[in-house]
């Protein structure tokens, strides 16, 4: 998605939310959004089923308005870091989903239903893995302490889709506040709302306190929270008006930093070398941050020549990725070969190598290496996706579909997977499946009506096996019902607006 389209989409969402934001702003916000007393029965107000639906609706708004990265390497890295922290937080339960947003902002957020987003800019600003983990641990604590949910539950008048939009605008809206027109107004209101929703001082303090314990439990440096905040605050003083978004949404003052230091003293310092995957993820993001491939090539060539880097392996990986992007496949292949020689089982290098093989027409070689890698670490879904892509290139679309279905069962609702499935089905000449997977992709992106139309077309295909038809029919029934609910919600929302305006 281009920046243009996503701005446009965000504007559309914000315009739709402007009314809602206005209503809430005029509705004695101090009462509406105040944090209920701790220990109140707030937890039980919204059922977990409702929260899951709210989370999904929120995530669809995020996907519609922000460039969520579908890169398997970066997603699997942030996911494994996030889940290792969740495992170290004794109060964490339920589902968490971690994802990266392809923008240079230094920020992160936690939405309803355990959806935690991290901006690429924050991953690049973190100097150590403990610093990145500190921000994730802080966001995880917001989720486990139900800070957002407690505020939302007071909004019981609103339907789930309306609440999801409101939350999305509140969490994501501030970044377009510079835009003209309705979006600007909505942006400002959403920003005000945002402060009321989940950034009360008590919530921030609690998220820091629990986050630091989680950091220490997971073996990271508990001082990283205070350290990162302090560095961000300092850099924002140097570059006036350029405070990182994270500080705007999570205001840091000397008090807060002192509290974080005190809390870290409870655990004591922990030296921990950064994981290689952290360094590789940053090298990949750094490479992507250049507009032109040749700029990225020059950057990495210079840092390698001058030794200006923290980890040579990661820097070479960035260089190889830049060469790949510049179309210099042979050179990229040589770099990758030496990386693989030192780390033969690292999926980052295996995937790059296989991609270069495919680009150079070495399809069988790519297939063979990926098959071998999967037999050694069958758990890796990025390897399976790469294998399926190679199978499509090798004109074996049916086998590719089998592989992709295995991954889709483990990671349902992933638009990128369904897009690949659609490609494979099309190549296999399976028209019913093509429409069915196109439907799943549209649905994952939040376009329910067009998704329903695709399923209807799928059912009309002549070659469709009975079992598949039954499955598609069941899916169609569920979606139609959802669409009916949504339309009812829309009507309800209009009525709510009227009520409040009166
Ligand atoms: Zn926070």
Residues 6+ apart with CB under 8 A from 130: 215, 220, 221, 224, 272, 274
What spacing in Å lies between the alpha carbon of 483 and ligand 1's midpoint?
A: 34
- Structurally, the chain folds into a number of domains equal to 2
Amino acid 226: pLDDT: 94
Instruction: Determine, yes or no, domain membership for 172.
Output: yes
Give me ligand 1 centre to Cα 201, in Å: 9
Q: What are phi and psi of 98, to 5 degrees?
A: -110, 140
Question: 10 Å Cβ neighbour count for 152?
Answer: 25
Contact present, 123 and 106 (Cβ < 8 Å): no
> How far from 295 is each of 320, 383, 478, CA to CA, in Å?
13, 29, 49
Q: Answer yes or no: is 397 within a domain.
A: no
- Predicted pLDDT of residue 259: 92
Domain CATH for 421: 1.25.40
Cα of 152 vs centre of ligand 1, distance in Å, is 16
3-state secondary structure (DSSP) of residue 98: strand
51, 208, 403, 419: the catalytic one is 208
In degrees and rounded to multiples of 5, residue 68 shows phi and psi of: -75, 130
Give dist(CA 346, CA 375) in Å, integer: 14
Pick the last residue of a domain from 265, 293, 326: 265
Q: Is residue 315 part of a domain?
A: no
Domain residue limits at 145: 3-24+48-265
3-state secondary structure string across 417-479: HHHHHHHHHHHCCCHHHHHHHHHHHHHHCCCHHHHHHHHHHHHHCCCCCHHHHHHHHHHHHHH
CA of 47 relative to ligand 1 center, distance in Å: 24
Residue 14 covered by a domain: yes
- For residue 455, being part of any structural domain is answered with yes
Residue 33 Cα to ligand 1 middle (Å): 16
In-domain check, residue 492 = yes
pLDDT of residue 43: 43
User: Does residue 357 have an active-site annotation?
Assistant: no
3-state secondary structure of 392: helix
Ligand 1 mean position to 12 CA, how many Å? 27
> Which pLDDT belongs to residue 178?
31
Cα 199 to ligand 1 centroid, rounded to whole Å: 6
Catalytic residue among 131, 139, 206, 403: 139
Domain boundary among 265, 286, 319: 265
> If you measure from the C-alpha of residue 242 to the centroid of ligand 1, how many angstroms do you get, rounded to a whole number?
19
Residue 109 falls inside a structural domain: yes
CB 437 within 8 A of CB 471: no
Q: What is the pLDDT of residue 447?
A: 83
Element (H, E) at 118: strand 115-119
Would you call 208 a catalytic residue per the annotation?
yes
Question: Last residue of some domain: 237, 265, 293?
Answer: 265
| DSSP H or E run through 108 | strand 108-110
How remote is the CA of residue 208 from the centroid of ligand 1, in Å?
Answer: 8
Distance 138 CA to ligand 1 centre (A): 6
Q: How far is the CA of 140 from the centre of ligand 1 (A)?
A: 9
| CA of residue 250 to ligand 1 center, whole Å | 5
Task: Evaluate whether residue 240 is within a structural domain.
Answer: yes
312 Cα to the center of ligand 1, angstroms? 34
Tens place of pLDDT for every residue, the chain, 502 residues? Answer: 444 454 444 444 443 333 333 222 222 222 222 223 333 334 445 677 778 888 888 887 788 778 899 999 999 999 999 999 999 998 888 889 999 999 988 889 998 899 999 999 999 999 999 999 999 999 999 999 888 777 766 555 566 666 676 677 667 754 433 333 334 444 445 555 555 554 577 888 899 999 999 999 999 999 999 999 888 887 666 555 556 667 766 667 788 889 999 999 999 988 889 999 999 999 999 999 999 999 999 999 999 999 999 999 999 999 999 999 999 999 999 999 999 999 999 999 999 999 999 999 999 999 999 999 999 987 899 999 999 999 999 999 999 999 999 999 988 878 899 999 999 999 999 999 999 999 999 988 878 899 999 999 999 998 788 888 999 999 999 999 888 877 776 555 444 333 222 2
30 Cα–ligand 1 center, Å: 19
- Tell me, in angstroms, the distance from the centre of ligand 1 to residue 204's CA: 5
């Amino acid at each position: 998605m281009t920046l243009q389209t996503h701005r446009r989409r965000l504007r559309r969402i914000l315009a739709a939310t402007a009314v809602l934001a206005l209503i809430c702003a005029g509705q004695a916000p101090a009462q509406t959004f105040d944090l209920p007393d701790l220990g109140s029965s707030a937890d039980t107000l919204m059922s977990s089923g409702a929260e899951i639906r709210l989370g999904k609706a929120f995530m669809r708004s995020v996907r519609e308005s922000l460039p969520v990265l579908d890169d398997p390497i970066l997603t699997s890295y942030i996911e494994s870091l996030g889940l290792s922290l969740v495992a170290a937080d004794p109060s964490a339960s339920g589902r968490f989903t971690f994802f990266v947003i392809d923008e240079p902002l230094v920020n992160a957020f936690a939405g309803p239903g355990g959806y935690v987003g991290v901006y690429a800019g924050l991953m690049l600003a973190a100097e150590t893995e403990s610093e990145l983990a500190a921000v994730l641990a802080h966001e995880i604590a917001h989720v486990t302490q139900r800070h957002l949910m407690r505020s939302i539950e007071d909004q019981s008048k609103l339907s789930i889709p309306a609440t999801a939009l409101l939350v999305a605008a509140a969490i994501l809206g501030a970044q377009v506040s510079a835009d003209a027109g309705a979006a600007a107004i909505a942006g400002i209101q959403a920003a005000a709302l945002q402060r009321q929703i989940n950034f009360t001082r008590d919530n921030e303090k609690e998220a820091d306190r629990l986050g630091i314990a989680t950091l220490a439990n997971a073996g990271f440096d508990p001082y990283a929270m205070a350290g990162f905040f302090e560095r961000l605050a300092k850099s924002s003083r140097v570059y006036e008006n350029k405070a990182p978004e994270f500080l705007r949404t999570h205001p840091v003052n000397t008090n807060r930093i002192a509290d974080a230091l005190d809390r870290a003293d409870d655990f004591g310092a922990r030296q921990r070398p950064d994981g290689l995957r952290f360094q590789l993820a940053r090298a990949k993001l750094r490479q992507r941050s250049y507009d032109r491939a040749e700029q990225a090539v020059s950057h990495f060539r210079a840092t390698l020549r001058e030794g200006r880097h923290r980890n040579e392996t990661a820097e070479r990986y960035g260089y190889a990725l830049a060469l790949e992007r510049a179309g210099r496949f042979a050179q990229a292949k040589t770099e990758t070969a030496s990386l693989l020689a030192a780390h033969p089982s690292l999926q980052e290098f295996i995937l790059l190598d296989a991609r270069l093989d495919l680009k150079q027409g070495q399809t069988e070689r790519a297939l063979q290496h990926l098959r071998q890698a999967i037999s050694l670490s069958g758990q890796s879904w990025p390897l399976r996706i790469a294998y399926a892509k190679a199978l499509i290139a090798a004109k074996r679309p049916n086998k590719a579909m089998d592989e992709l279905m295995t991954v889709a069962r483990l990671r349902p609702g992933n638009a990128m997977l369904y897009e690949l499935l659609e490609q494979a089905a099309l190549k296999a000449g399976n028209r019913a499946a093509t429409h069915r997977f196109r439907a799943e992709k549209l649905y994952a992106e939040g376009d329910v009506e067009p998704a329903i139309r695709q399923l209807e077309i799928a059912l009309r295909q002549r070659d469709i096996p009975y079992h598949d038809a039954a499955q598609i029919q069941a899916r169609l029934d569920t979606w139609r019902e959802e669409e009916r609910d949504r339309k009812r919600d829309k009507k309800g929302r209009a009525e709510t607006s009227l009520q409040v305006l009166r």
